[in-house]
Amino acid sequence: MKKEKYAVHPDFSILTHIRPSLNPKTLLLTQKTMRMLYYRERSDAAVRVERLTIPVTNGPDVSALLYTPKNTKTEGCLLDIHGGGYAFPAAPYHYALARKYAVQASCQVLFPDYRLAPGQPFPAAVQDCFAAYEWLLKHTASPIAVGRDSAGGTLSMAVTLMAIEEGMKVPCAQLLMYPSVGNCGETESMRLYTDTAMCNTRDMETYGQMYVHDPVAGKLYWRSPIEAESLAGTPPTYIETAEFDSLRDGALIYAEKLMELGIAAEVHQTKGTLHGYDMVLKSPIVQDMVRRRTDFLRTAFTGQ
């Protein structure tokens, strides 16, 4: 039996065989197939699911799901922006976690179905997600957190910086799992993990080419938050990294920049993990991290 190059924890060994196809023709079919999951979301005994249509200033309306826990008072709202390299729709674990966050953090969860590359390149996704944030500001007085995984982390950080720049109410917290923070140069993790499953340095280059057709179509920090002129005003931020992930070191650099500004950054460096480890929902490691995330959100919403 071939020995794995990386010491991946047994919980995540299944991920070592997953390499999403980034072929444009295959991707188009994948987008159509995966998007069906959005329309299958329904209310259940624990969570009410509503379908919304949110107006976007610079594009067509964006569809969104609003998850509300049925058996508890809500303390806040999470703008939940799924990852997927700006090219893949939400996967089953994204929807499952949205429900968990709603119940375990006692909050509403707004889940936008933002436009995807390469058909709808930068800055379409940013505009959709910011429109979702503006919608929340108009429809709830509760504290609003923003976040999620990978490219969803990039979009979340961009939303925060846009709110700061516009002089709007800023999210009370950022929740970032193995986020793509933007251009940090050639970090050690970018140099090392060029062949890992799920996502690697080479994949990141391909995602970037599909996403950014015109680099001046939007502001630099919309696609590379770490290159913002200033991160001042960023709220308390929770960050998880995966060990064998090209994005790992960039997230740590981002955390350091926040802490240098006196901004609280809670960092968890998971071990034996690959990008996308959230997919293995039955893993005790993932379940523990979900508890940590929801603890962070509850504190952000209530101050306790």
How does pLDDT run across 232-291, given as a tens digit for each residue?
999 999 999 999 999 999 999 999 999 999 999 999 999 999 999 999 999 999 999 999
Enumerate domains of the chain plus CATH numbers.
Answer: 10-302 (3.40.50.1820)
The stretches in the chain having pLDDT less than 70 are: 1-4, 304
Peptide bond between residue 179 and the one before it cis (omega within 30 degrees of 0): no
Query: For position 25, what pLDDT does the model report?
Result: 86
Q: What percent of the chain has pLDDT over 90?
A: 95
Query: For position 4, what pLDDT does the model report?
Result: 61
Q: Are 110 and 77 in contact (CB under 8 A)?
A: yes
| Rounded Cα–Cα distance for residues 137 and 265 (Å) | 24
Q: Where are the beta strands (DSSP E) in the chain?
A: 47-56, 59-69, 76-80, 107-112, 144-149, 173-177, 237-241, 265-269
Handedness of CA 38, 40, 43, 44 (dihedral sign): negative
Query: For position 2, what pLDDT does the model report?
Result: 44
| Rounded Cα–Cα distance for residues 18 and 20 (Å) | 6
In the chain, the amino acid numbered 209 is Q
Catalytic residues: 150, 245, 275
Query: For position 235, what pLDDT does the model report?
Result: 98
